[in-house]
């Protein structure tokens, strides 16, 4: 199921055809997952395996992201492992794992984590901080701006923040970036498996963040493929 979209890349590139996943399966990845819960479970477990490695690194190398934060909502949090790891390391935080109803209905229970079902394009639960790990790279600029605007509505204007964990592509081809080939590979995965997703350069991140109405942001490397982009109202 995940391999067949790759055989449709040529029609997308040569004739601006349909998105490869859509052409292979007649619907986008998210609709397919909602109708095929077995695949949804495999997909979320794969994301969980990455999260088990990534979140402790974020906490260690970017602890300031959670300074003064009492509530965090993980948008597109899958089975809730990210918030489970976060609350274990920062027990004062009350966490919300927010995803599609069919995803959170089978999520495991974690101390200090509430599972909430919904649609991030409609509304996001209120919190001091919104956590977005490998979410925006699955969407084009138009959709990402809409998601970020919903995030801005969910956080306080005074000290709220959005914590984006995603790749930042070096547009100048920096040979010192030891993850550049992995980032290219993930960019290709987004082309094959999503309808509008892509990895972004810093200039492209700047565009979607500013268009969503945020005033400033910082970018910090965590010595991994992803960086932490902290966005402020």
- Superfamily of segment(s) 4-232: Vaccinia Virus protein VP39 (3.40.50.150)
- Give pTM, 2 decimals: 0.90
pLDDT value for 44: 74
Residues in the chain: 233
DSSP letter assigned to residue 108: P
CB atoms within 10 A of CB 82: 28
- Structure-token pair, residue 47: 């994301």
pLDDT means over runs of 10, the chain (233 residues): 89 79 90 85 76 83 91 95 93 96 91 96 98 95 98 96 94 71 90 92 96 96 90 96
Give the residue among 136, 106, 103 at the shortest CA–CA distance from 121: 136
Active site residues: 137
Which residues does 25 contact at the CB level (< 8 Å), separation at least 6? 1, 4, 5, 32
DSSP letter assigned to residue 15: H
- What are the extents of the domains in the chain? 4-232
- Structure-token pair, residue 133: 């790990």
pLDDT value for 80: 93
pLDDT value for 95: 98
User: Please, where are the H alpha helices in the chain?
Assistant: 9-15, 20-25, 29-35, 37-61, 81-89, 101-104, 141-154, 180-193, 202-211
């Amino acid at each position: 199921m995940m391999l067949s979209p790759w055989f449709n890349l040529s029609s997308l590139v040569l004739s601006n055809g349909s998105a490869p996943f859509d052409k292979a399966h007649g619907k986008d990845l998210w609709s397919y997952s909602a109708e095929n819960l077995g695949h949804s479970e495999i997909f979320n477990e794969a994301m969980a395996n990455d999260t088990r490695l990534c979140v402790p690194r974020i906490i260690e190398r970017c602890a300031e992201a959670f300074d003064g934060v009492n509530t965090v909502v993980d948008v597109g949090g899958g089975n809730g492992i990210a918030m489970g790891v976060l609350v274990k390391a920062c027990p004062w935080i009350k966490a919300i794992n927010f995803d599609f109803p069919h995803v959170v209905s089978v999520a495991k229970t974690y101390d200090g984590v509430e599972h909430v079902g919904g649609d991030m394009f409609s509304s996001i639960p209120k919190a001091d901080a919104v956590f977005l790990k490998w979410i925006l790279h699955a969407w084009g600029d138009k959709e990402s701006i809409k998601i970020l605007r919903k995030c801005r509505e969910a956080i306080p204007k005074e000290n709220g923040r959005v914590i984006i964990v995603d790749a930042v592509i070096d547009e100048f081809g920096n040979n010192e970036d030891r993850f550049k080939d992995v980032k290219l590979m993930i960019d290709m995965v987004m082309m094959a498996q999503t309808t509008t997703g892509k990895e972004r350069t810093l200039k492209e991140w700047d565009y979607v963040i500013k268009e969503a109405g945020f005033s400033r942001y910082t970018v910090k490397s965590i010595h991994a493929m992803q960086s932490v982009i902290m966005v402020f109202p």
